[in-house]
Chains A and B, each alone.
Chain A
Amino acid sequence: MNHLSLIIKREYLTKVKNKSFIIMTILSPLIMIALIAVVAYLTQLNNNKERTIAILDESGLVSDIFKDTEHTTYKVLTNTTLEAAKEDVKTNETYGLLYITKSVDTTQFYNNVTFYSEDTPSLTVISSLENKLEKKFQDIKLERDGVDLEKIKSSKTSVDISQESFSGETTSKIDNVLKLAFGGIAGYLLFMFIIIYGNMIMRSVIEEKTSRIIEVIISSVKPIQLMMGKIIGTSLAGITQFVIWVILGGLMMLIVSTIFGIDFSEMQSSQQQLMQQAMESPEFESQLKLAFAAFQNLPIANLILAFIFFFVGGYLLYSSLYAAIGAAVDNETDTQQFMMPILMPLILAVYVGVFTVIEDPHGTVSTVFSFIPLTSPVVMLMRIPFGVPIWQQLLSLALLIGTFMFTVWFAAKIYRVGILMYGKKPSYKELYKWLKY
């Protein structure tokens, strides 16, 4: 075991002291922040641009629906012809001209509206205009058919079924969203970690072969110790880098936003603005309370423990697969084709999680996938918020760790035999013989 700690220490220190590792650790958050800052700045620039849009409404039906907003001013033209209006718009450098013809056919409005502009208008401008017109035309149609608009408005109802378990816990739809989000975040994090650091583990396993030190090392330590040491050492280096990224990124975000006065929270789409409006409504407050309640309903302690164990277990398992690839090949160029198949089960896990766990958390598909080691880290983490018996969690975890150990052991076998093969392809009979040794 003393060997193992020596190997871990060496792997960790050589990774962390490596110049490119240090540069990437510092540079990555800088690049990210710079990108975000640029995007934020450009978005602000775009939003601040003021536009004037001229309206020539010959039908006289819709001119009242255009209300000025912060960045857009509507100029309703009257008593002018289309040609004159166009000239006017051109000379005044107005953004564009919205023209609605006089003889509006109430069944076919879409033929009768045209937007004239110097350049191709932006998609958001056009769709916002379309939205406004659609709503107005719909109202006009309804009124023409004798429908009372007020009645339609008042008929709108929203039903929110309150849920309660037999033991008296109240739950809500937000529960499910929260639960799914938890599993989703865990899966995404795992995915990211494996993509970033899986390769690093593979390269580290190949290192002894390319530097030809392999025979010296292999005559001093057992291959399984080497594999284990590499996986653990490299993972620790990865975690170190990740933690530094989070801290550095957070700090720099703070610094950049105070220096340049860019409010990152302002970077939001119109949907988020809608959310904000919704938040201010009293209805939302009750929803928020439900969300809090939902959060408290979650088995927090279980979740945190499960997250740590399944995340670490899943990460180790996938790392050991990369290690096995590294053990089987002679150089890095041979490894590219293996990258995708390794990630496939993980992608599958996320899909299973999103499509079946939410529908039926304890159904056959969800349960089976939460035991299969390659998918269990994601699927089980999604299931746990819905309440999974401890024995199931432990069994799944045991399977996960067991598979990890098996893969490392297998990788070590491949590794030991790989150096002796003199470029010959081994037969299955031989493969079996190696495993016994």
Chain B
Amino acid sequence: MSNLLVANSVSKSFGNFKALNNVSISVPTGSIFGLLGPNGAGKTTLIRIINQITMPDEGSVMLDGDALQPHHIQDIGYLPEERGLYKSMKVGEQALYLAQLKGLSKSVAKERLKYWFDKLDIGDWWNKKIQELSKGQAQKIQFIVTVLHQPKLLIFDEPFSGFDPINANLIKDEILQLRDEGATVIFSTHRMESVEELCDHIALIHESNKILDGKLTDIKRQFKTNTFEVGLQTDNINEVTRLIKDKFEVFPATFKNLNDDLKLNIKLNANDTSNDLLSFLTSKAEVHHFVEVVPSANDIFIQTVKNN
């Protein structure tokens, strides 16, 4: 798969503070790329460099094989974390203005706006002023403006902050649809549950350095601990527990289940397969629950950040 956006060893300092240190990322075409990291890690600086708001001190950024040029602005849609709109301007006029700044003609912009306004069911807002809308409503407008010029690359910086769950879901579905239509999405957040749902690839930035990147499933495989969550039913809980503990490394487990089972996290011994574990368990008790523990993005995030 080719990469739409490649950043090569990008560094940026503000005074004595190094905001980015030799960061490289590759964003595959047609993927949703999660740019993760704690607050102040340097995510927004990297995004601003991609948007040509600021220049890297060192390193380069390539879009579609070319070094970034001013005309690439039209190929990028950017929804910043700090967002706002002209308060005293009417919704429609404002959307038209911002679309024209991105290079759309007035008639095309109008047509597409009508499509989006109908789609999100906000057609009657055209003549309202932004200051008459709620925060969530204004965010919808902002989302439309971001995607209206059908850019190849969409960059969302914390897109769900300020949305209620219903609208967040609506926007999430729109992002997925845009991806399916061929757009590449960079998605910066520190909220891990949305990462699980959306991202194909991630890069984790911590204290100005990239500490982890790759396909999300690969990373999960890399972080898996060969641990299985099991629920067993037996008349002799103490005896079974003792038997298992003799043979395996065991951690307590909590999950919801119908029966009042013996609940355990069991780590496979080296060279064992899951079948070995399962057959051992079935010989001792009735197995009701058997699931491999897959590390969540949240676990990976916290673990990696702590280790660094």
CA distance A355 to B159 in the complex (A): 63
Closest to B97 in A: A10
Q: Is B295 an interface residue (CB 8 A)?
A: no
CA distance A219 to B82 in the complex (A): 13
A424 and B53 contacting across the interface, CB-CB below 8 Å = no
B83 and A219 contacting across the interface, CB-CB below 8 Å = no
B15 and A213 contacting across the interface, CB-CB below 8 Å = no
Q: Is A36 an interface residue (CB 8 A)?
A: no
Say whether, besides A219-B73, A424-B14, A424-B15, A211 and B87 are in contact (CB < 8 Å).
Answer: yes
Contacts of A174 in B (CB 8 A): none
B14 and A420 contacting across the interface, CB-CB below 8 Å = yes
A420 and B48 contacting across the interface, CB-CB below 8 Å = yes
Q: Is A419 an interface residue (CB 8 A)?
A: yes
Q: Is A88 an interface residue (CB 8 A)?
A: no
Q: Is B277 an interface residue (CB 8 A)?
A: no
For window 398-437 of chain A, which residues contact chain B by CB distance below 8 Å?
Answer: 416, 419-422, 424, 426-427, 430, 437
A219 and B145 contacting across the interface, CB-CB below 8 Å = no
Query: Of B98-106, B111-119, B266-274, which stretch is located at the interface?
Result: B98-106
Q: Is A216 an interface residue (CB 8 A)?
A: yes
Closest to A3 in B: B101
Q: Is A38 an interface residue (CB 8 A)?
A: no
A220 and B73 contacting across the interface, CB-CB below 8 Å = yes
Q: Is A222 an interface residue (CB 8 A)?
A: yes
Say whether, besides A216-B83, A216-B98, A420 and B53 are in contact (CB < 8 Å).
Answer: yes
Say whether, besides A220-B101, A222-B70, A437-B55, A215 and B83 are in contact (CB < 8 Å).
Answer: yes
**A207, chain B: closest CB distance, angstroms:** 7
Contacts of B53 in A (CB 8 A): 215, 218-219, 416, 419-420
For window 10-61 of chain A, which residues contact chain B by CB distance below 8 Å?
Answer: 10, 14, 18
Q: Is B304 an interface residue (CB 8 A)?
A: no
B54 and A420 contacting across the interface, CB-CB below 8 Å = yes
A211 and B15 contacting across the interface, CB-CB below 8 Å = no
Closest to A211 in B: B84
Q: Is A67 an interface residue (CB 8 A)?
A: no
Contacts of A220 in B (CB 8 A): 73, 98, 101-102
Query: Pick the contact of A421 from B14, B89, B102 — CB < 8 Å?
Result: B14
CA distance A215 to B155 in the complex (A): 12
**A382, chain B: closest CB distance, angstroms:** 42
Contacts of B87 in A (CB 8 A): 211
Q: Is A6 an interface residue (CB 8 A)?
A: yes
Q: Is B186 an interface residue (CB 8 A)?
A: no
Q: Is A212 an interface residue (CB 8 A)?
A: yes
Encode B74-102 as 1/0 by CB contact (under 8 A) with A. 00101010111111110000000110111
Q: Is B209 an interface residue (CB 8 A)?
A: no
**A218, chain B: closest CB distance, angstroms:** 5
For window 203-230 of chain A, which residues contact chain B by CB distance below 8 Å?
Answer: 207, 211-222
**A415, chain B: closest CB distance, angstroms:** 11
Closest to A225 in B: B101
Contacts of B101 in A (CB 8 A): 3, 6, 217, 220-221
**B213, chain A: closest CB distance, angstroms:** 24
Contacts of A3 in B (CB 8 A): 101
A219 and B55 contacting across the interface, CB-CB below 8 Å = no
**A23, chain B: closest CB distance, angstroms:** 14
Q: Is B241 an interface residue (CB 8 A)?
A: no
Encode B14-30 as 1/0 by CB contact (under 8 A) with A. 11010000000000000
Contacts of A207 in B (CB 8 A): 86
Contacts of B88 in A (CB 8 A): 14, 18
CA distance A422 to B53 in the complex (A): 15
Closest to B57 in A: A433
A219 and B78 contacting across the interface, CB-CB below 8 Å = yes
Say whether, besides A10-B97, A420-B53, A424-B15, A211 and B78 are in contact (CB < 8 Å).
Answer: no
CA distance A221 to B101 in the complex (A): 7
Query: Pick the contact of B86 from A211, A419, A420 — CB < 8 Å?
Result: A211
Contacts of B97 in A (CB 8 A): 6, 10
CA distance A222 to B86 in the complex (A): 18
Say whether, besides A218-B53, A220-B73, A222-B70, A213 and B48 are in contact (CB < 8 Å).
Answer: no
CA distance A218 to B89 in the complex (A): 18
**A436, chain B: closest CB distance, angstroms:** 10
Q: Is B226 an interface residue (CB 8 A)?
A: no
For window 41-86 of chain B, which residues contact chain A by CB distance below 8 Å?
Answer: 48, 51-55, 70, 73, 76, 78, 80, 82-86
**B130, chain A: closest CB distance, angstroms:** 8
**B143, chain A: closest CB distance, angstroms:** 12
CA distance A18 to B82 in the complex (A): 26
Contacts of B145 in A (CB 8 A): 216
CA distance A416 to B15 in the complex (A): 16
B82 and A212 contacting across the interface, CB-CB below 8 Å = yes
Closest to A421 in B: B14
Contacts of B15 in A (CB 8 A): 424, 426-427, 430
**B249, chain A: closest CB distance, angstroms:** 47
Closest to A437 in B: B55
Contacts of A212 in B (CB 8 A): 82-84
**A313, chain B: closest CB distance, angstroms:** 29
**Leading 7 A-B pairs by shortest Cβ distance:** A212-B84, A215-B80, A219-B51, A220-B101, A211-B84, A213-B84, A219-B78
Q: Can you give 11 contacting A-B residue pairs, CB < 8 Å?
A: A3-B101, A211-B87, A215-B80, A215-B82, A216-B83, A219-B53, A219-B76, A220-B98, A420-B48, A422-B14, A437-B55
Question: Which A residues contact B (CB, under 8 angstroms)?
Answer: 3, 6, 10, 14, 18, 207, 211-222, 416, 419-422, 424, 426-427, 430, 437
